[in-house]
Structure 1
């Protein structure tokens, strides 16, 4: 296996445009470019999931406004999500590298702040991706437990330990799949995308057709009923419901992290970000409308159903036991595949961060398996970190809910800094094929303002004056991780402030001008000569 401590020199012949662009950013080509533009779109769309994602987070929308929050909350968020997609797409087109966010932060920030900001963004993105993997795997485990409950005629009620055990099994199988070759993972995306669209269309068509008349709602209820089951004022409850669409449509950086495995990356990456997120937003809104018209008027009974999953309870009322189990099996499969795509992306991000020596044990994490040519060690690092986050389940349902808000909040922190740095500091930003031109600044301003607003909102608990078990642990987990990362950065003598140089080139030129590739530098090896990416 190739590690940070080894040095390999390879004479280069003719390079593809993608390889040449990557080398201009300071990195050699280490992955096989197996992802076509369609498959890159499939990765983003598969991570968004739509139906399985809605199944995982519907519990956050229903008690915070019911139908109004489900339909109009989704619509409001879509406008701002589009601004975020545009801002991220422009950066992804300019510099498509697996490092993504922290690379952009370093490149666009001032020399005084670039090292610290790059460090913060890298760790925020890492914990955000780990939280995303944990939340998807937990959602899949809860969905499996809901299927068991439906199959037992509601006689089975899973314990926290049983659900956590299922969560571990799901995460392990996901890791095994993600340890396979890039070509295998890439080829899974097209059938998954097709299956995802078919499920969406099936629900939009079949749900209204199968729902008994007593559960069919009229337009007045669907578009105008506001049911607040929390102790928050209606306006604030409506805002808290935003977690559902923002968690569902939040994978703006995912295809950036696998851009080194994609062909025509500087064109494919921005369009994959924009098209996948906007198509998911429209289709998701259609699914939400179909659900609202077919769920009946008793919102509280859906939330408190013994099935443990609001969407499963709605399906049970419409399709009956067998029909629900049939469609639920497909949703569980989609949720699992969503997790494999997300784990693939998260492992590439941690691999890229380790490539620059920033993570503990970077020498181990920055390795490519010689058989699969994938970062297997990074896959398992992300998996075990997600399993550790899953232990929050034993502190209560509110605590495990923090993994959902954590992935949104941490990634929004990581998203907002490079977008801000692009305009706040003097830099030589060179746009790629996709550019917003003069609209770049206003779009970025709206996107960053929205993310800052959401980062504050998602620190609040589900109800005011919560007990310990009902607290929102997002601020504890994210704050704790960021405190540790800053301690690691400023630690006397051994901290990153003494040796971290940001994204470090692994390409050098010999005295004859011939290009050589060098894999070098693990964390702390600051004495090795390196070419800083400016």
Structure 2
């Protein structure tokens, strides 16, 4: 039996060179060699998990979609629905990473849980969804940061005329800085993530204090808790509400980022689940508090929606601070957090690509799977991910609509990569519970209910993530994510037939411990 099938935890007699600690032994039991530097402490992992989501900050960036479809009341109840759903998703994810703590994440879990006849194929499809979604997420995070910077300039300099190529150049600059931190300064990344965690909380206190104390406008209770809007033109407010769910869903995206870094985390099988659950608690609490504060100080909703900056939060903060300079300064703090999020996003996206390459699932796998011996990072995968983000940003010069179509793939791709292993996990824990050996972190008897709810929530949210923000639908407002997600699936199927089935045999068993090895590295 392959060790991935039951999450074996037996202590294996290995040399010091092969497995010098518990983490390396656990990784070796799953068939993988420890080749990356394990220097992420629990606090650094928590910082990584929190700042990959940047929920209270990220919520500002997609605020407009929830205001159009749902309005203030829709944003509040949609946030609560999204928070509960993501908590179930992350709890299920925590159980799986505790059992199989590898950088591969979803595709590794799928291989471990699927029936023998279909495990290789399902693992391959899951892996491509996750890899492409993370590449799109990295590109969209860079673009969000760049265009937010443009918004700050627009807000403070009336003479500035924004151009799309300005945003692309800013993407190049942001990616370049992130590259330095993910290569030459990679050893310091855990300290940076710890510092960013502190900023994540301190800046929350600063921004929410300024908004609630200084704002000249205070909305009525009924305008916050019971005002529903349907500016997207849908037939009913209920349908509009579900379309607007993309706002809270996107604000929590990136939840699995810490999973892909787990081979660089001390005590990964215990620490990663803890960090994931703490991050959803911290981000959910701060995000909800900031949402309520924003709705009470928003002032004129049409004015916020029509802000020339392209981001309503800049207009809201300018109004709350009673000055353009103050609003620009507060907004700059949020944009700094967007940039900090990019550090972890580039790291996680590159590790997902590296893990899939390590298992021979992508072209030029040997090069992408190589780990630089000096830096202890998968340098080719990091550079490749940065290159993809920069290349995709060039699309924005020709058409912002086409670029937005690419980045809209993020939510659907991530949720799709969760659904397959979650469904297999749910089936196996009901039909064959004896075949599952829980990891150090487990939900126990409540796991099956949480798992089931996570699946149902993912299906609902993924379905409505394909809907356009407004009707009637035209090319400029079309939500292209359904087209892009379908294209990813078709690409994975086609590439499976042409290449994958010849080289991909599931996660490569590298350690050669003689435990029913299916295939050697």
Name the TM-score, length of structure 1 as normaliser.
0.89
Matched with 1:460 is 467
* Equivalent in the alignment of 1:379: 382
User: What is the aligned counterpart of 1:478 among 453, 467, 485?
Assistant: 485
What CA deviation, in whole Å up to 9, does each residue of 1:485-509 have, x standing for no partner?
A: 2111112xxx222331110111124
**Does the residue aligned with 2:512 lie in a helix, a strand or coil?**
strand
Alignment of 1:206-355 (within 5 A): 206-212=210-216, 215-232=217-234, 233-296=236-299, 298-319=300-321, 320-355=323-358
Cα gap change, 1:180 to 1:321, in 2 (>3 Å): same
Question: What CA distance in whole angstroms lies between the structure 2 residues aligned with 1:380 and 1:59?
Answer: 33
Between 45-54 and 333-342, the greater mean CA deviation after superposition: 45-54
107-116 or 313-322, larger mean C-alpha shift? 313-322
TM-aligned CA distance change 1:433 to 1:157, over 3 Å: same
* Displacement after TM superposition at 1:403 (Å): 4.5
- SS of residue paired to 2:81: helix
Alpha-carbon distance between aligned partners in 1 of 2:82 and 2:476, rounded to the nearest angstrom: 29
Equivalent pairs counted in the alignment come to 501
**Alpha-carbon offset, residue 530 of structure 1:** 6.7
Q: For the Cα contact (< 8 Å) 2:214–2:320, is it kept in 1?
A: yes
| 1:148-159 correspondence runs (5 A) | 148-152=153-157, 154-159=158-163
Structure-2 separation of matches of 1:348 and 1:386: 15
- Tell me the distance in 2 between the aligned counterparts of 1:82 and 1:176: 33
Does structure 2 retain, via aligned residues, the 8 Å contact 1:399–1:472? Answer: no
What SS is found at the alignment partner of 1:505?
Answer: coil
Q: Is the 8 A contact 2:45 2:272 kept in 1?
A: yes
On the 8 A contact 2:369/2:381 being kept in 1, the answer is yes
State the partner residue of 2:3. none
1:15 and 2:17 equivalent? Answer: no
Q: Is the 8 A contact 1:229 1:300 kept in 2?
A: no
Which of 156, 159, 183 is the matching residue for 1:179? 183
Q: Secondary structure at the match of 1:434?
A: coil
The SS at the match of 2:115 is coil
Equivalent positions of 1:68-107 (< 5 A) are: 68-107=73-112
- State the distance in 1 between where 2:132 and 2:392 align: 10
Is the 1:68–1:222 Cα contact (8 Å) retained in structure 2?
Answer: yes
Pick closer, same or farther for the CA change 1:290–1:398 going to 2, 3 Å.
Answer: farther
- Residue 413 of structure 1: which of 413, 416, 420 is its match? 416
Q: Which moved more, 1:381-390 or 1:397-406?
A: 397-406
TM-score (normalizing by structure 2): 0.92
Structure 2 residue ranges without an equivalent (≥5): 1-13
How far has the Cα of 1:13 moved from its partner? 6.4
* Equivalent residues of 1:399, 1:470 under 8 A apart: no
Q: What residue in structure 2 maps to residue 120 of structure 1?
A: 125
Moved more, 113-122 or 50-59: 50-59
1:54 partner SS? helix
Question: 2:8 aligns to what?
Answer: none
Shift of 1:37: 0.9
Relative to structure 1, the CA distance from residue 366 to residue 218 in structure 2 (aligned partners, 3 Å threshold; closer, same or farther) is same
Select 1:370's aligned residue among 370, 373, 384.
373
Tell me, what secondary structure is at the counterpart of 2:28? helix
Write out per-residue CA displacement over residues 195-230 of structure 1, whole angstroms, 9 at most, x where no aligned residue.
110111112211111111xx3212111111122221
